[in-house]
Chains A and B, each alone.
Chain A
Amino acid sequence: MVPELTSADTLSDAERSSAHGLEPFSGCLARHGLELNRGQTNTLQINVGLICNQVCRHCHLEAGPNRSEIMSKKTIEEVVAYAKRASFPVVDITGGAPEMNPHLGYLIENIAPVAPRLMMRANLTALAKENTDYLLRLCMANRVVIAASFPAVSASQTDSQRGKGVLEKSITMLKKLNDLGYGRDGTGLELNLVSNPTGAFLPASQDQAEKRFRRYLETKWGLSFNNLFTFANVPLGRFRTWLADSGNLDSYMKKLSASFNPCAVEGLMCRTLLSVNWEGYLFDCDFNLAMGVYLAGRKRHISEMDDLPEPGTQIPTGNHCYACTAGSGFT
């Protein structure tokens, strides 16, 4: 079951737009003479469930400890079988906290041989708690790229988004990963950081933020990493609720739409990514997954798929897509 949609989410694009005085995203695309169609799919993103040890305020999936949706072993087997049939250059495991799915080890071991590049979104605090040594050994043996959430170098900002004490625990886990060779030159073990803004504002430029994080983490804690990615928060789920409760929703939506960058459309991740939810249903991206809007608007299970999705099919959009096209875009 996808998370229950809030009343704002169930409104049509046009209704929501007029509520915010916004041009609907579909209209904005049309005005620029653009369409959002699928290209050549290269990434399979597997959402292994919505259980998480944290309750981050920007989480578009409303993941948390009280969720029960988790990908079963049977669905994982179906996902692996499909990955073998279709062959994806990149496989990306996400959640919730993927570490909290008891079959994560099985998934990594079985999908790694057919995934030239295998990535896992690690919630650093969950990785520190759940089968840490076993999972880390497995990640190293299978050259799993770890993408760790790390919003800010300031404790007050990180903790306000992700929970009290999260910065300190994340630093401890990053040290452990560095000690194992992750994020260190010449090891082939890639460690990337992902930074989402800690409020209703746009992310810093990726280049500048990466330089600053690198300098700061190295000087203060002797830590290193490979790349830093900055992403805008998507106005869905818990983040949308926070925006509405804090009186920021309208201004945030306006800010996103004012930052619409037509050049970002071509590189949007939904053009090349296929997202599968904990039950095995398919979506164009993790945000449409959160909205319950299926791949090309049609409910399909991974077990029914033989090949990669057809290029050229239209991708369903909503006003949340403005988060992906703001500035340099969400790719």
Chain B
Amino acid sequence: MDTYYDPKDLPKFADIGEEAPELAKKFFDYYGAVFAEGELTEREKALIALAVAHAVQCPYCIDAYTQTCLERGASLGEMTEAVHVTTAIRGGASLVHATQMRKIAKKLSM
């Protein structure tokens, strides 16, 4: 069955450069530099990327950064905690808007 997301499409990511090579080069150079070891280790960056991948719910990124996390020596426990951080922030972001709801409700209510 055809699906919008096919794992075989992931390696084709680089083909995006065919239409706008200069922009693609800038993007991929930047991307590579972001993930190189800096103040944060490659492993820490991979865990952040995994958490963000879950926030943006990108199956390609989840696949890629699950593998990258394992290859940078992360444990399943650490990866699970990273996704809980996503969940806490996503859930918290909804919940914190309850302050708006409460403020408006209060204003309207007797």
Instruction: Please give the residue numbers on chain A whose beta carbons come within 8 Å of chain B beta carbons, in ascending order.
Output: 152-154, 156-157, 197, 199, 201-205, 208-209, 212
Contacts and interface: CB of A to CB of B under 8 A. Distances in A.
Given A154-B76, A208-B42, A208-B72, 11 more contacts: A152-B73, A152-B75, A154-B75, A156-B76, A197-B71, A204-B71, A204-B72, A205-B72, A208-B43, A208-B73, A209-B73
B37 A203 contact: no
A161 to B, nearest CB: 12
A203 B71 contact: yes
Q: Is the interface of A mostly helix, strand, loop or mixed?
A: loop
5 contacts: A197-B70, A197-B71, A201-B70, A208-B42, A212-B73
Contacts of B41: 208
Contacts of B73: 152, 204, 208-209, 212
Contacts of A157: 75-76
B77 interface: yes
Contacts of B75: 152-154, 156-157
A202 B68 CA distance: 9
Interface string B64-108: 000100111101110000000000000000000000000000000
Interface string B39-70: 00111000000000000000000000001001
B76 A201 contact: no
A152 B76 CA distance: 11
Contacts of B76: 154, 156-157
When A and B form their complex, which 10 residue pairs have the shortest distance between CB atoms, in order from nearest? A204-B73, A154-B75, A201-B70, A202-B71, A201-B71, A209-B73, A204-B72, A157-B75, A201-B67, A154-B77
A208 B43 CA distance: 9
Interface of B: 37, 41-43, 67, 70-73, 75-77
A157 B70 CA distance: 11
A288 B45 CA distance: 38
Contacts, number: 34
Nearest to A151: B73
A197 B72 CA distance: 10
A252 B71 CA distance: 13
Contacts of B77: 154, 156
B60 to A, nearest CB: 15
Contacts of B42: 205, 208
B62 to A, nearest CB: 15
Contacts of A203: 71
Nearest to A154: B75
Given A153-B75, A154-B75, A157-B75, A208 B70 contact: no
A166 B37 CA distance: 32
Contacts of A204: 43, 71-73
Contacts of A212: 43, 73
Question: Most A CB atoms within 10 A — which of B42, B70, B76, B77?
Answer: B70
A156 B77 CA distance: 9
B28 to A, nearest CB: 17
B44 to A, nearest CB: 10
Contacts of B37: 208
A152 B43 CA distance: 14
A204 B71 CA distance: 5
A192 to B, nearest CB: 17
A153 B71 CA distance: 14
Nearest to A195: B73
Residue of A156, A157, A199 most packed against chain B (CB within 10 A): A157
A283 to B, nearest CB: 29
A199 B79 CA distance: 15
